[in-house]
Structure 1
Amino acid sequence: MMSEPDIRDQLENHHRASFGWALCCCGRDPLEAENVLQIVYIKILEGKARYDGQSTFKTWLFSVIRRTAAEERRRRILYELRLLKYESAGGRVSPTEGPDQTLYRTEIQTMFQQALASLSARQQSVLQLVFYHDLSVRQAAEVMGLSVGSARIHYERGKKRLREWWEGVRVSHES
């Protein structure tokens, strides 16, 4: 086990590379990378993440950064999903929208939410991450803790079911 001064020296020696890796893990967002790196340093200095010597310090440090970035991304996405759910429950209305347009929009939104709710939990999650949060399928897989192949299957099946639903809605409104 390393002493605290040794750990601080290692962190200082690897800071520049660590920040570069944090940038990669945070989609090149420097503020997010700084935040993640600060959380990593606190975890390490408080003993919540411990170096056991099974790999090089740098390899271990980079894995802590990657996991922390994923945790923070998951936390942010969950927060945004809750916020989105809260905002959609408020039924915001556009000032240029007439009452009939508002009713139609609300009806379609309700139907779409029901269609989305009919999908499996994983299909719902991957579609929400990709469409509402602008993540790639690969990033959604990382957030969800799935393989990329599994996420792609859930994504494609979910899209197919929603497409079939939409075709049904269009046919019923045209008749």
Structure 2
Amino acid sequence: MDRELADNLEALHPDAFGWALHCCGGDASRAEEVLQNAYLKIVQGRLHHAGASSFRTWWFGVIRLTAHEEFRRLCYRESLLGKLWMQLTGDARDPRPSPSHQAELDEQTLQLRAALAQLPARQAEVLHLVFYQDLTLSEAAAVMKVSVGSVRQHYERGKARLRSLLQPSSDHES
């Protein structure tokens, strides 16, 4: 790996982890694994930045696709392990731990997370890329591999939906 590539990856690491965390639904251990596998793809020479987009946009696309690959692999493994576990133990409950092991957050953060969770996946992805990762709409479109028009539509609809979800309801004011 050349020095420029290493420097670019190092500079983007905190943002890359944030994006991986989003792509993994907030599961930090899965995000670490996804990011490690994305780094491995580059170190092993399986991927190269061709220059068609900015390095950041390309790297976030690699992370997103790696997260999708890992998710498919995980679902396959868990379905087989879950079936085996139920056959061996006769236990019908899910043996996996709950994913809700998160640090305590203030009420506004919880409300925002709850509102974001109610958005369709594409809208949530666009908002994350634009607000958390400071990408432009065209860069977000490249990461998501959709048209800029589609990203604009998801962006506007996501903002409008978030606004309505975060507004205090008039029922509580009377």
Normalised by the length of structure 2, the TM-score is 0.50
Highest CA radius of gyration, 1 or 2? 1
From the two aligned structures, give the one with the greater helix fraction.
Answer: 1
